[in-house]
Chains A and B, each alone.
Chain A
């Protein structure tokens, strides 16, 4: 790297402004969010009541667990993983047709 005049250096420094603080915070919190997600999914697999609560109203079920969904970085992934659990909830309700529909959809 050579031939850097002051003007060029100034311009290059200016090309990398900080990303918004909230974005960075969410990214930094990924390890904790990942642990929370794994714990929630594990519990949903083991606890039918909790599973039903998650499927019925994901955001409120998260809030009840002390997780604020609006700033939680893995909400979409949790939603996908909770969707996978839906047929099991239908099966538990003996709603076989609905469960089969969900399994095959």
Chain B
């Protein structure tokens, strides 16, 4: 059983995993060349990041966050040609998202408290810093096997129960906890090669 599991975890990369291996620079170049599949990959790569900045760091309500989200990707799509360095797409998207969130907060505060000069609260800088780390962790997660990626994402990011994960992945619910634990170890080793047994 262990061997079968290891074989599954070392299975060939899915299209999602392969796209995760595409560098930001190559992805941007493909999008600029009109590759619509690459555009879809770019949206998937950064959608969580944009969403988290709007909702967690700026605490925008869902409707405002949706407007910001759509505006960010519309501007990225329109202005990809203006990006000076293709591998700087992530800080560019982050900056664009922050600016649009601030605009949204200012517009909201003008409507609500038109008679004061107070600006709304800015972003939570600690959260913004943690989101950068979280993005790097998700990058590393994308390099793991599909099994590990799926199970960790479902449990921690999608908040699914053992039962729901077991049903979705056709795995006994009783094995989910141990799989999560093993996959977390693999993720740590992916991020920090020093943590690998052969390097200890």
Contact = CB atoms under 8 A, between A and B. Distances in A.
A2 B49 CA distance: 21
Contacts of A9: 137, 184, 187-188, 191
Contacts of A74: 74
Given A1-B191, A12-B130, A12-B134, A27 B158 contact: no
A73 B34 CA distance: 18
A15 B52 contact: yes
Interface string A1-36: 111111001111111111110011011101110100
Contact of B188 (A4, A28, A32): A4
B47 A15 contact: no
Given A31-B39, A34-B77, A19 B134 contact: no
A31 B70 contact: no
B118 to A, nearest CB: 29
A93 to B, nearest CB: 33
A4 B188 CA distance: 7
Interface of B: 34, 36, 39-40, 43-44, 47-52, 56, 66, 69-70, 73-74, 77, 130-131, 133-138, 140-141, 152-153, 156-159, 181, 184-185, 187-188, 191-192, 194
17 contacts: A1-B192, A2-B194, A4-B192, A9-B191, A10-B156, A12-B130, A12-B137, A13-B138, A16-B135, A16-B138, A16-B157, A20-B66, A23-B47, A23-B66, A23-B70, A26-B70, A74-B74
